[in-house]
Amino acid sequence: MSSNRLAGMVKLALLVGSLQLGSIGLAAADTTLLNVSYDPTRELYKDFNAAFAEKWQADTGETVTIQTSHGGSGKQARSVIDGLEADVVTLALEADIDAIAKATGKIPADWKSRLDNNSAPYTSTIVFLVRKGNPKGIKDWGDLTQDGIQVITPNPKTSGGARWNFLAAWAWARAANGGDDAKAQQYVAQLFKHVPVLDTGARGATTTFVQRGLGDVLLAWENEAYLSLEELGPDNFEIVTPSISIKAEPPVALVDGNVDAKGTRKVAEAYLDYLYSDAGQKIAAKHYYRPFKPELADPKDTARFADVKLVTIDEFGGWKEAQPKFFADGGVFDQIYKPGQ
Amino acid sequence: MALDTSSAPAAAPSKLVKAATSETRIARLTLIAVALGFVALFLLLPLATVFIEAFRKGPVEFATALRDPETFSAIRLTLIVAVIAVPLNLVFGVAAAWAIAKFEFKGKAFLTTLIDLPFSVSPVISGLVFVLLFGANSALGPFLQKYGIHILFAVPGLVLATVFVTFPFVARELIPLMQEQGTSDEEAALSLGATGWQTFWHVTLPNIKWGLLYGVLLCNARAMGEFGAVSVVSGHIRGQTNTMPLQVEILYNEYNFVAAFAVAAVLALLALVTLVLKTALELRYSDEIAASRRH
Amino acid sequence: MAFRSSTRWRFRQPSVIPGFGLALGVTLTWLTLIVLIPLSGLIWRSSGLGWSNFMSLVLDERTVNALTISFGTAFIAAVVNLFFGVVLAWVLVRYRFPGKRVIDAMVDLPFALPTAVAGIALTALYAPNGWIGSILEPLGIKIAFTPAGIVVALVFVGLPFVVRTVQPVMEEIDKEVEEAAATLGANRYQTISRVLLPGLLPAGLTGFALAFARGVGEYGSVIFIAGNLPYVSEIAPLLIIIRLEEFNYPAATAIATVMLFLSFIMLLVINSIQSWSRRRYSNGA
């Protein structure tokens, strides 16, 4: 190896090392933001980051580099708690941001009220993905517990999206039984007897359904269902919207403790505000998220969303009540999920 | 033994002895068939799947997938981590094997078991232990942070997790081998007046070099392929703290199957490069190996 | 030959070989830094639970089930690997056949392939619509999404351990020993079962123990193929993840501690048998 190449490699190693050690060696004008997000937002933030960087450059003349980190919502929250220096978090569940607030104090307890719409610039809902032509004739939640139907959903214990699935099913059953929670529980218990595989994440469940050909219906985020239709073949699948579903609100928050330490508050705030802007709402709708202000988005995009009666998490007493009741250790999910009974 | 290998002539074994020291043709073929069938079912097909998926859309798409800057940075990071982690465990492995194989002492099985422990720790936990040790809620984390030293979600954390996971490889490879060889060669060298280091370099090392190579190869392969532990300490910052296995997961989760399997294929190939090296060495020194086997 | 004359208790048998202090010192330092300190942090964390909480958590039906599944499947997989691994190592060391070097090189693949990739590839093969799964399906055999799938993944993950620990020892086997056995009138079967296999026992047991230990903790490849149904195919590491998702670190570390403890005991037993058998069969070295 020539000494030149060796020197190059040493430089490379040093460069990588210095990047890891924080902002050493980066020009002052070049700010870096870290957005710690959950799994299904990759495509959304790829677009959005580029748009925001461009706007920030135009407005202030500064370059901003936005780094993203994606993973299961709970795992991402844990990373931030353990010291991952996120400037903003954009997660699947309110409970995950609450956990960061509680464990680190880097986010104030009232974070939810700091931005419009409970800090959810975009929302989504739960729909069914079925095989082309809907061979089993699945129209609504009631059809899922018929004999011979296999339902694919990830595990509510490990997947934020699956918790929305669970609650959407519950909401339908409660409404169908005149508000009877016991009947709703029976239905949901029945539903999970039709689940042959519990993947740990939403995308794992999609793969099981699409690639492995398992199951008759996949319970999925609306944005995920459309994305998989686009990515994996509109000829093979179609989307069925049930009569009732849940309004899933993936919230965003500024991590005050980190932005103040890094001096990135201004740009981080602008980043989150931009999500609510004209452009931000357009990009969200383009990626099949239901924008908070649909009037700002492209009508062509918003027309894709089917009309569906949406219940909100407030009907379950908010996440602060729903999370421990349904999903904590020994909660409703643990009680009903006993195979072989 | 390996000391005076160069001149040992390969005596042609007599036909009678040969018959008694090898199996019948049928037994041989059966064994080969069983072994190959097993390999096909559990190794060949999964590997083929990876390559078929990687080239599903042709070589152009494969190459494009690898030119992605994030993928490139993942490859670089993986190599950096392996280059640091493997030598550390190499030195440790030789020292541990020397102590355990060459000496009889109390608590040896206990020590060996402690060395084995990282194998039995779930990868998730291997990562978690370092989070508990260096995380923001630990005693050490905030202290180091004050001095600008980042362990978690940075290269040091990735290296630590990798060292932990690959900890036993070299030692475990060498211990049975060195036990099998015993200590007579070393004793002979020492009695002829060699120093301890001379004995190690000129007697022990040549004896164990193939086992050592296996150990390093395994250690290296595992260091590059480790997913679970690294996933916990990485923070998954795109283009920065994602190693190749993490990049594979990201790409797969983006439904970018071709790119995901392309990176996986490169990872498999990287492991094979070291094996090609080993094969080349074996060919180069084939006389010596043959001689050392026959004594 | 080690001296065994003294009956007095001593830490180590006297030996003319130098370097014990240095080698053991390096070993213990590194072991403490990399393994013992981090793991004691884990145990310390789970001790925050208190004994009764700890026990009730560990004896919880679901935890016991998951541990049974993890240890059971890992054991079966290790047995499979021991048998096929020794055969494979034998074939690679003793015979010549086309493609031998390729096969030899491929044995390490399970280490190099990220476990998640292995899981995805195996699931693709063994799922009802996969190459192998579709052959087995009409026969009523289901592999993917059942405990059998876990075994398949663990066989894949553990194979190199057996092959690579047995292989170097096999290469070292002195042909003279076999020739001597043959000269003394042993037939091939006797030579193998009485002379060769006992010599391979320590390495084989080591490989078995490592494959087993690795299988118990394996997560990445298993979750794709297992089905993950509680009480049926839910492995202990998944239960740890579930506890972590609940931000319940003490519970997660408690399960991890139990797994660690059980694995440690099993490894210790196997290592003790191994070291005993080595003393018994080795000719005094």
CB spacing of C145 vs A197 below 8 angstroms: yes
Which one of B5, B14, B18, B21 would you mutate to disrupt binding with C, by most C Cβ within 10 Å of its Cβ? B21
Interface size between A and C, measured as CB pairs under 8 A: 70
Name the DSSP letter for residue B237.
B
CB spacing of A82 vs B80 below 8 angstroms: no
CA distance C52 to chain B (A): 23
Give yes or no for a contact between B241 and B283, defined as CB atoms under 8 angstroms apart.
Answer: no
Average pLDDT over residues A236-263: 94
The mean pLDDT value of chain A amounts to: 88
**What is the mean pLDDT for each group of 10 consecutive residues in chain C (285 residues)?**
54 83 92 92 83 86 92 96 95 88 83 82 90 91 92 94 87 79 80 81 87 90 88 90 84 89 87 76 48
Residues present in chain B in total: 295
Name the DSSP letter for residue A221.
E
CB spacing of A82 vs B154 below 8 angstroms: no
pLDDT in tens, A149-197: 999 999 998 888 899 999 999 999 999 999 999 999 999 999 999 999 9
CA distance C211 to chain B (A): 8
Which chains form contacts with chain C, at 3 or more CB pairs under 8 Å? A, B
- Residue C17: list chain B partners with CB under 8 A: 102-103, 183, 186-187, 190, 196
User: Tokens 């663990």 sit at which residue?
Assistant: C154
CB spacing of A158 vs C127 below 8 angstroms: no
Out of B44, B132, B186, whose CB is closest to C42? B132
pLDDT of residue B21: 64
ipTM: 0.81
Q: Does C222 touch chain A (CB under 8 A)?
A: no
Out of A213, A214, A339, whose CB is closest to C230? A339
| pTM (2 d.p.) | 0.84
CA angle A285, A287, A289 (to 5 degrees): 55
Q: Could you please report the per-residue DSSP string of chain C?
A: -------S--SB---S---HHHHHHHHHHHHIIIIIHHHHHHHHHHHTT-HHHHHHHHTSHHHHHHHHHHHHHHHHHHHHHHHHHHHHHHHHHH---TTHHHHHHHTTHHHHS-HHHHHHHHHHHHSTTSHHHHHHGGGT---TTSHHHHHHHHHHHHHHHHHHHHHHHHHH--HHHHHHHHHTT--HHHIIIIIIHHHHHHHHHHHHHHHHHHHHH--TTHHHHH---TTTT--HHHHHHHHHHTT-HHHHHHHHHHHHHHHHHHHHHHHHHHHHHHHHHS---
Dist. CA A224–CA B46, nearest whole Å: 28
The candidate with the shortest Cα–Cα distance to A297, out of A314, A313, A311, A280, is A280
CA distance B183 to chain C (A): 6
β-bridge mates for residue A35, sequence order: A68, A88
Could you give the count of Cα atoms lying within 13 Å of A73 in the half-sphere of its Cβ? 28
Q: How big is chain B by its Cα radius of gyration, in Å?
A: 23
CB spacing of A82 vs B135 below 8 angstroms: yes
User: Tokens 């981080």 sit at which residue?
Assistant: A268
Dist. CA B45–CA B261, nearest whole Å: 14
Scanning every residue of chain B, which has its alpha carbon at the shortest distance from the alpha carbon of C201? B176
Average pLDDT over residues A301-309: 91
- Residue A204: list chain C partners with CB under 8 A: 223-224
Average pLDDT over residues A307-322: 92
Out of A199, A213, A327, whose CB is closest to C129? A213
pLDDT in tens, A199-212: 888 888 988 998 88
- CA distance between the termini of chain C: 5
CB spacing of B253 vs A232 below 8 angstroms: no
Interface size between A and B, measured as CB pairs under 8 A: 76
Handedness of CA A314, A319, A320, A325 (dihedral sign): positive
Percent of chain A as helix, strand, coil, to the nearest 5: 50, 15, 35
Q: Does A83 touch chain B (CB under 8 A)?
A: yes
Dist. CA A315–CA A332, nearest whole Å: 16
- Residue C123: list chain A partners with CB under 8 A: 212
Q: Does A160 touch chain C (CB under 8 A)?
A: no
β-bridge mates for residue B82, sequence order: none
Dist. CA C221–CA C227, nearest whole Å: 12
Out of B116, B175, B180, whose CB is closest to C213? B116
Question: Which is higher by pLDDT, C121 or A6?
Answer: C121
pLDDT of residue A216: 96
Average pLDDT over residues B188-197: 91
The 3-state DSSP class for residue A246 equals strand
